[in-house]
Amino acid sequence: MNNSVEISKTNSSKAVGGQLADELAKLVFDGSLAPGDTLPPETELATSYQISRASVRSALQMMETLGIVARRAGRGTTVQEFREWNFLDGQVSQWIADYAAPNLGVLRDVFEFRCTTEPLIASLATKRATARDLLAMEDAFNIMEANWERRASLGERECFSNADIAFHEAIYRATHNLVWAQIVHILRPAILLVIKTSNETAEELRESLERHRRLMEAIRMRDSEAAYVAATRILSQTGYDLGFEETPGEKET
- Catalog residues that contact DNA under the rule CB under 7 A: 9-10, 15-18, 39, 41-43, 46, 51-55, 57-58, 60, 71-77
Please report whether residue 228 would count as binding a second copy according to CB under 8 A.
Answer: no
Please report whether residue 141 would count as binding a second copy according to CB under 8 A.
Answer: no
Q: Which residues of 67-85 are buried (b: 16+ CB within 10 A; e: fewer)?
A: bbbeeeeeeebebbeeeeb
Query: 10 Å Cβ neighbour count for 242?
Result: 17
How far apart are the C-alpha atoms of 113 and 89, rounded to whole Å? Answer: 16
Figure out which of the listed residues 66, 79, 191, 226 binds a second copy, where binding follows CB under 8 A. Answer: 66
Q: Is the Cα torsion angle 246, 248, 249, 253 positive or negative in sign? A: negative
Q: Which does 110 bind (CB under 5 to 8 A by kind): a second copy, DNA, none?
A: a second copy
Q: Which does 77 bind (CB under 5 to 8 A by kind): DNA, a second copy, none?
A: DNA
Q: Which is nearer to DNA, 56 or 92 (CB)?
A: 56
Q: Which does 36 bind (CB under 5 to 8 A by kind): a second copy, DNA, none?
A: none
- DSSP alpha helix (H) spans, the chain: 16-29, 42-49, 53-65, 90-99, 105-128, 131-147, 154-174, 178-183, 187-197, 202-220, 224-242
How far apart are the C-alpha atoms of 109 and 96, rounded to whole Å? Answer: 14
Q: Which is nearer to a second copy, 124 or 170 (CB)?
A: 124
How far apart are the C-alpha atoms of 102 and 117, rounded to whole Å? Answer: 22
Please report whether residue 135 would count as binding a second copy according to CB under 8 A.
Answer: no
Q: Which is nearer to DNA, 57 or 157 (CB)?
A: 57
Q: Which is nearer to DNA, 65 or 182 (CB)?
A: 65
Q: Which is nearer to a second copy, 29 or 180 (CB)?
A: 180
Residue pair 193/216 in contact by the 8 Å Cβ criterion: no
For binding to a second copy (CB under 8 A), which residues are involved?
54, 57-58, 61-62, 65-66, 82-83, 86-89, 91, 105-106, 109-110, 112-113, 116-117, 120, 124, 177-183, 186
